[in-house]
Amino acid sequence: MTIEISLQVNGVSHKFAVSPTETLVDLLRRRLGLTGTNKDCGMGICGACTVMLDGLPVSSCILLASQADGAAVTTIEAIERDGRLSPVQEAFLRHGASQCGYCTPGFIITASALLAENPHPSRDEIVEALKGNLCRCTGYKRIVEAVESVARQGGPT
């Protein structure tokens, strides 16, 4: 059995016939080759697979592709614009907020979604927003500092 869905991914419209158990992360990675979205826990806890669904950060490993029918998905590949890093990406680079980097795309998606909603979040609001993304390398400090630096600029994400 397959389900017909339509999905806008990074601004491009697609139609897919998906199985009822196919997750969004597998669809993005296998069918579209968007491997910037990494896979880890498969239970929606670590946040490595975070993508934006209609502007909100979601764990794509516990979202069935069929549940995303009609939605607009943004992945890490569409965060940079016109050959330039987004302010969040550049801040992660400058602040050393990416070490092994496996969690990085998920953090950047979560932070970008936060800043789109609230361009000047407080430190507490940033930590609250990032609590669903796990990182083993950085101890979070430089990640929070990177997001804070963009929040201070208050520019678009």
Partner 1 sequence: MTTIWKEPDGEKFALGSIEEQAHWQKEYQRILRAVREEADATRPAERIGRDSHTVGMALPRNDALYKVRGKARYAANIPMEGALFCRFARSTEAHARIRGIDISEAKAMPGVRAILTADDIPADQLLIGTLTDDTPVLAKDHVRYSGEPIVAIAAETEEAAEAACLAVEIDYEPLPMILTPEEALAPGAVQLDPDGNVIGDLKLENGDIEAGLRAADVVVEGSFVTEPVDHCFLEPPSGLAFVDPDGVLTVMVCTQYPHYHHKQIARVAGLPMEKVRVVQTVVGGAFGGKMDNTVECAIALLVLKTGRPVRMLYTREEVFTATTKRHAMKIRQKIGATKDGRFTALDVEYLADGGAYRSYSLVVGGRCVIHTGMPYRFPNSRVHYVATFTNYPPSGAMRSFGVVKVAFALESLIDELAGRLGMSPFEIRRINGLVDGDKTSTGQVIHDVGLLKTLEAIEPIYQERRKALAAQPDDGLKRGLGIACLGYGIGYSGIRNPSTARMRVTADGVVTACCGTPDIGTGSDMSLAQIAAQSSGVGLHRVRVVSGDSTKTDDSGPTSASRTTYFSGNAAYICGQDFKRQFEEAVARARGVTAAQVRIEDDRIVIGNERLSFEDACRLISAEIEDICGYGKFDPEIEASILTFKGNPYPTYVYATHLVEVAVDAELGRVDVLRCWAAHDAGTIVNPTGAEGQVDGGVAMGIGQALWEKVERRDGVILNPHYRDYLMAGAKDVPLEIKSIFIQNHDRTGPFGAKGLAEVSLIPIPAAIASALHDAVGIRPKRLPMSTEYLLGLINERARAAAPAAKAAAGDGHD
| Binding region for partner 1 (CB under 8 A) | 29, 33-43, 45-46, 48, 75-77, 79-80, 83-85, 89-90, 92-96, 98-105, 108, 123, 127-128, 130-145
Q: Residue 6 Cβ, how far from partner 1 at the closest point, in Å?
A: 24
Q: Residue 56 Cβ, how far from partner 1 at the closest point, in Å?
A: 19
Which CB, 66 or 89, lies closer to partner 1?
Answer: 89
Q: Residue 85 Cβ, how far from partner 1 at the closest point, in Å?
A: 7
Bridge partners, residue 15, by sequence: 6
Q: Residue 26 Cβ, how far from partner 1 at the closest point, in Å?
A: 8
Which CB, 70 or 80, lies closer to partner 1?
Answer: 80
Which CB, 72 or 85, lies closer to partner 1?
Answer: 85
Which CB, 55 or 96, lies closer to partner 1?
Answer: 96
Which CB, 100 or 116, lies closer to partner 1?
Answer: 100
- Per DSSP, the residues of the chain read --EEEEEEETTEEEEEEE-TT-BHHHIIIIIS--TTS----SSSSS-TTEEEETTEEEETTSSBGGGGTT-EEE-GGGTSBTTB--HHHHHHHHHT--SS-SSHHHHHHHHHHHHHH-SS--HHHHHHHHTTS--SSSTTHHHHHHHHHHHHHT---
Sign of CA dihedral 134, 144, 96, 52: positive
Q: Residue 4 Cβ, how far from partner 1 at the closest point, in Å?
A: 21
